[in-house]
Amino acid sequence: MEMRMHNPPHPGEVIRVLCLEPLGMSVTEAAEHLGVSRKTLSAVLNGRSGVSPEMAIRLSIAFDTTPESWLSMQMECDLWKSEKKRAELKVKKIKVA
């Protein structure tokens, strides 16, 4: 089993801290650049919504990154949260003959 990052940041936090704050850009301005509503971007920035493949493409164009980097961040965050609930899952191993 590979080691996962301990409590990886939500991509929205990365967008806010590493992209918007250094540029002094408001959520409204960033949403306009991304071609999405302020409400949509705010949900991502506040961790209420994840980065979809389409949003990953928008972010990659706006910030000259790759969509894969944004989706990877989202996946790591989602997996970390799900792993914390592993013990609650009612799953039985399937034995292969």
* Domain contains 94: no
Closest C-alpha to 3, from 85, 79, 88? 79
* Domain contains 58: yes
Residues 6+ away with beta carbon under 8 Å from 27? 20, 38, 41, 42, 45
* Domain contains 2: no
Q: What is the pLDDT of residues 12-49, one digit of tens each?
A: 999 999 999 999 999 999 999 999 999 999 999 999 99
Domain that holds residue 78: 11-88
Please give the single-letter amino acid code of residue 48. Answer: R
- Residue 1 has a pLDDT of 47
